[in-house]
Amino acid sequence: MKFTRNIFALVASLFVGVASLSAQDVIDMAVSIDEDTAAFLGENNTLALRNKLSKIITRNGMADAEGFFALVPTIAITDDGVVDTGMTKMRVMYADLTLSVVNSVDGTVFDSQTVSLQGNGNSDEACVRALINKLNVNDARLSKLLKDSRSSIDAFYERQMPILLKKIETMIAAEQYDEALAAMSLIPETVEQYNEVCDKKIEVYNRILEIETLRIVADADALVRQGRIDEALELCRTANILSPNYGEVVAFLKRLDAEAAAAEAAMLEQKQREADAEKSREKVVKSAEVKAESVKADIVKAEIVKSSGSKTKKKSLGQVLFGL
């Protein structure tokens, strides 16, 4: 198999975009509905309330995502009854919906706001759905709740940063890189130590890249030993050129190229030796054939001489003595 030797062309094709490490200036706040409230609401109404609260979070500059903070609703029914409209009877329900911004770690309540609602329907479930529909996602009181809570959250981070940084260091030391990155992604850019957090993000990301690069080189080397060269090269293309130890991939490819060149040279040398041996064999065979022909000619000549001598008549003793 012919190996590619254009290392630079291969390296140029290996670019993989680096993950974004942009500033986290948006607070993550999840909607958290406890079991009792969910049981009262029912599955469909629970989903409807969750969707409404998600809109309230995102419309006030936060992200509806799991983090250290949650928007927790509680519902208290203040009155309910049946109204006879003359043609039919309709249920009427009055309730106070309290929204609280809570620290998910220790349960601390940063702030809360209660909104009174009224819902009508043919059943309790319909009344509850009407209550949820009456909740205005643009309510100024709810916007103020989240705005005031944001200030409290920023203060929380300032107080907790030493503890958070220590926990992150412990995660990094234990090679729990995914957990460390997840923890750092929750920290907003408003904290004083945010630059330090960014440096640690880069440190962790580089470590992840280094580990992945070493794995790629090891797996590629195993493929080469199995003779699966094309698969090894394809695997090397998945390495991130931004990895601090990307030189390991380059060194591996150069070694592979050198081994390929050496193997090709050895193959050419072997072919040359085989060609030389074939020429030598042909020369020996030709020499042997010539010699065989010469011997054959000598044998034929000797046979002719022998045959001529056997045809000459032998002289008698008298002829030899007396010349007769």
The pLDDT tens digits for 42-78 are 999 999 999 999 999 999 888 888 878 899 999 999 9
Whether residue 7 is predicted with pLDDT greater than 50 in this model: the reply is no
pLDDT band at residue 316, thresholds of 50, 70 and 90? low
What are all long-range contacts of 34-37, with beta carbons under 8 Å and residues at least 24 apart? 34/72, 34/74, 37/73, 37/74, 37/75
Q: For residue 44, give both structure tokens.
A: 């469909």
* 150/298 Cα distance (integer angstroms): 118
Residue appearing with tokens 């022998």: 306
The domain limits of the chain are: 29-145
29-145: CATH class: alpha beta
The per-residue pLDDT for range 275-314, each reduced to its tens digit, is 777 777 777 777 777 777 777 777 777 777 776 655 555 5
The secondary structure of residue 28, as a DSSP letter, is B
pLDDT in the model for residue 282: 76
Strand-strand pairing, 89-103 and 69-84: antiparallel
Supply the DSSP string of 109-154, one letter for each residue.
Answer: EEEEEEEEEEEEESSHHHHHHHHHHH--TT-HHHHHHHHHHHHHHH
| Residue 1 reports pLDDT greater than 50 | no
Phi, psi at residue 14, to the nearest 5°?
A: -100, 10
Q: Would you say residue 2 has pLDDT above 60?
A: no
Whether the Cβ atoms of residue 235 and residue 212 lie closer than 8 Å to each other: no
| Cβ neighbours of residue 1 closer than 8 Å, sequence gap 6 or more | 229
Q: Under the phi-then-psi rule, with left for phi > 0, alpha for psi from -120 to 50, and beta for the rest, what region is 120?
A: beta
Tens digits of residue pLDDT in 186-201: 787 778 888 899 999 9
C-alpha R_g of the chain? 47
Task: State which amino acid sits at residue 213.
Answer: T
CB atoms within 10 A of CB 142: 21
- Element of type H or E holding 100: strand 89-103
Phi/psi of residue 20, each to 5°? -70, 135
CA–chain centroid gap for 242, Å, is 14
- 23 pLDDT band (50/70/90 cuts)? very low
Please provide the average confidence, as pLDDT, over all residues in the chain: 81
